Amino acid sequence: MMYSIVVFPSSKVQEVANSYRKRYDPAYALIPPYIRLKEGFELDETQLPQLVSHLEQVASSTDSFTAQFHRVSTFHPTTNVIYLAIQNKEPFTELHQKIINQCVSEKETYAYVPHLTIGRDLSDDELRDVTGQLSMAKIDLTSEIDRFHLIYQLEDGIWSVYQTFLLKK
């Protein structure tokens, strides 16, 4: 089964992200806005208890924190993805590192950059146009991050939460 590990930001941040995602993100109906901590990976169900145990240890040893979203950016020319950039990346990077240290042997496809995708699979022209418009938008959003989620993909492509892990207060 396909799994991933993500953070869902506050409803206010999700609302802003979804105002763009419904136009620019074909995955809009499959998963709420998220910040990926571990990209999708295949895992045999017999390995699930070991992964859950590891994630519980990670959560219990990690303090909650605040995420600050400050601008719109893109991964172009690597991929035609538009995202809300996170100003304070360090807590996400540390959490990502703790998770992948024992998580899954697969290597990540890309270097880890914490972000919240608001558009993907755009043509080059559409990417330039949308990025040009959104780069002028003032982004000043915060979200308390006090949990992360192990999610799995259903046969219809929709992602569902398997388990939630609470960070230290």
Residues with catalytic roles: 115
- Residues 6 or more apart whose CB falls under 8 angstroms from that of 32 comprise 8, 14, 18
Beta-carbon count within 10 A of 107 CB: 7
The C-alpha atoms of residue 136 and residue 71 are separated, in whole angstroms, by 9
How many residues are present in the chain? 169
Candidates 4, 9, 2; CA nearest to 100 is: 4
- 77 — phi, psi (to 5°)? -95, 0
Q: Which residue has the tokens 């999610």?
A: 151
For residue 63, the SS3 value is strand
Whether the bond into 77 is cis, omega within 30 of 0: yes
